[in-house]
Amino acid sequence: MRATVTLLTLAAGLTLAAVSYFFLAAPLGLPAHEGYSNPRMPYAPVLFILGVVLVFLTAVVYELLPEQGNP
């Protein structure tokens, strides 16, 4: 149970960070005009930061959940 929740937390954080970095941020390439440097979605950097924080919180989730086993 603990490993499953930890892996799901890690996957959610990595997915959120990757999607916000590659698909929601400003497009790569030479800027054609000023609006080109704006992110595709407002607050995309916040979503990236939340994804990174979620990845770091994976260790906390692993440590706080009790290990299931024989007592």
For 55, counting Cβ atoms within 10 Å of its Cβ (0-12 exposed, 13-18 middle, 19+ buried), the class is middle
pLDDT at 71: 56
Stated pTM of the model: 0.81
CB 68 within 8 A of CB 3: no
Question: How do residues 25-71 score in pLDDT, each as one tens digit?
Answer: 877 777 777 777 778 888 889 999 999 999 999 999 999 988 876 55
From the number of C-beta atoms within 10 Å of its C-beta (0-12, 13-18, 19+), residue 39 rates as: middle
Looking at residue 70, its pLDDT comes to 52
> What's residue 47's pLDDT?
94
Predicted confidence at residue 53, as pLDDT, reads 97
DSSP annotation of 1 reads -
